[in-house]
């Protein structure tokens, strides 16, 4: 154990970290590793690989992801902001490169290979984008003469354009929802709400009319016609699992669906471990989001408040989209279940998000004492 009397970086981290957040993230990673044993061997065998190929790769990504999360959690809010700016610049540059030298997968250019490692830059863009926009919104709230909101809108336009160009409708919807929620928290005027809502509907209509694969997915979802095999099979697997599942290794869906270890791991969990187990997973994500929003509600610093709320919303909405697709409540999106689905880029990027959350929610007694004093005196809380 680490003594409270110690005054080193590790001791300070240990006594100031939000242990509930830390335990929740580690628990989700553990659940994901366990489900990789259930979902991935059948996929590996079907494509001629060793049965535990994806299990081993999942394990390989776990350790660096955990290291990344813990390392980032040591940062101060100022350092978090600086790290996010650098990460956003790098990821946006890579998203531009993807359009020219990226790897095409299922009709989309989302991946780029560096030193033999495939990376999805948009995954790393998401947490950095949230933190940078939180800083811009907070600067505008602190000094209205600073056009932080305008810069946030321009940045959103750049990110949205790059995502649509790939094309990646799921990530575009996720980014839009999180950005809109943060803008609303920052006191978005009703005129802006109307204008941006109209722009969002207009963008959705353009995507539907101009992008055949988007129209195809939406039409298949609305009419039930066409190739809906994966979604139909996933929903049937959930029904077969009943309350307590068919038992570990007894599932059928993983032997049929190509993406059972990534997009449809929730269906594998439902079929083998039951609806009760899946409800526990949903409750873990709900706890994560509600605890984050509660922290944001109590936070005096605008930057911390917007950033924490945006980051937990990102995880919460992404999990809702993935589960909604598995339940056939939403069109297929190709989006992973955070920290549970197989995927190197996704896991490391979500751990970056988790690290930012842990860093921004650390208990800092001296800082909070100053904030309370400033708040009571009517001066307000300066951004870090």
At residue 327, the pLDDT reads: 87
Per the CB < 8 A criterion, the answer to whether 340 and 25 are in contact is: no
Instruction: Please count the other Cβ atoms lying within 10 Å of the Cβ belonging to residue 141.
Output: 20
**119 membership: H or E segment, kind and range:** strand 117-119
HSE-up of 207 (CA within 13 Å, CB side)? Answer: 23
Q: Quick one: how far is CA 109 from the chain centroid?
A: 20
What confidence category does residue 6 fall into, taking pLDDT thresholds of 50, 70 and 90? Answer: low
The domain locations on the chain are 14-362
- pTM (two decimals): 0.88
d(CA 346, CA 336): 7
- Quick: pLDDT tens for 101-156: 877 766 677 778 776 778 889 999 999 999 999 999 999 888 888 888 889 999 99
Instruction: Count Cβ neighbours within 10 Å for each residue of 77-98 and write b for 16 or more, e otherwise.
Output: beebbebbeebbeebbebbeeb
d(CA 153, CA 131): 14
At residue 296, the pLDDT reads: 92
d(CA 122, CA 336): 13
d(CA 311, CA 77): 14
Distant-in-sequence, close-in-space partners of 330: CB < 8 Å, separation ≥ 6? 221, 321, 324
Average pLDDT, the chain: 84
What confidence category does residue 213 fall into, taking pLDDT thresholds of 50, 70 and 90? Answer: low
d(CA 319, CA 321): 5
d(CA 75, CA 70): 10
Whether residue 374 has pLDDT greater than 50: no
């Amino acid at each position: 154990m680490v003594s409270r009397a110690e005054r080193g970086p590790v001791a300070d981290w240990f006594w100031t970290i939000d242990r509930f957040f830390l335990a929740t993230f580690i628990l989700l990673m553990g659940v994901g590793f366990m489900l990789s044993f259930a979902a991935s061997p059948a996929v590996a065998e079907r494509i001629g690989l060793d049965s535990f190929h994806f299990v081993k790769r999942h394990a390989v990504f776990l350790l660096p992801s955990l290291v990344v999360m813990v390392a980032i959690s040591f940062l101060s809010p100022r350092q978090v902001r600086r790290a996010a700016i650098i990460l956003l610049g790098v990821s946006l540059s890579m998203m531009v490169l993807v359009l020219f030298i990226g790897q095409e997968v299922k009709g989309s250019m989302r991946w780029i290979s560096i030193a033999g490692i495939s990376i999805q830059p948009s995954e790393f863009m998401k947490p950095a984008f949230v933190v940078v926009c939180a800083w811009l919104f907070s600067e505008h709230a602190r000094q209205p003469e600073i056009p932080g909101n305008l810069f946030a809108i321009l940045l959103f336009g750049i990110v949205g354009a790059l995502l649509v160009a790939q094309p990646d409708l799921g990530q575009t919807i996720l980014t839009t929802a999180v950005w809109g929620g943060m803008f609303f928290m920052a006191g978005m005027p009703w005129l802006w709400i109307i204008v941006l809502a109209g722009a969002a509907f207009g963008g959705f209509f353009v995507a539907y009319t101009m992008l055949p694969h988007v129209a195809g997915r939406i039409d298949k979802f609305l009419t039930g016609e066409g190739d809906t095999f994966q979604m139909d099979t996933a929903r049937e697997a959930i029904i077969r699992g009943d309350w307590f599942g068919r038992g570990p290794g007894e599932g059928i869906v993983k032997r049929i669906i190509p993406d059972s270890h990534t997009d449809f791991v929730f269906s594998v969990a439902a079929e083998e471990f039951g609806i009760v187990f899946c409800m526990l997973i949903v409750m873990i994500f709900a706890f994560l989001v509600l605890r984050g929003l509660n922290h944001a509600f109590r936070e005096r610093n605008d930057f911390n408040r917007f950033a924490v709320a945006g980051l937990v919303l990102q995880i919460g909405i992404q999990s809702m989209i993935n589960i909604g697709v598995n339940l056939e409540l939403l069109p297929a999106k190709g989006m992973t279940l955070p920290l549970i689905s197989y995927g190197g880029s996704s896991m490391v990027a979500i751990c970056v998000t988790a690290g930012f959350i842990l860093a921004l929610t650390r208990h800092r007694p001296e800082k909070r004492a100053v904030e309370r004093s400033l708040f009571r005196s009517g001066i307000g809380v300066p951004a870090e």
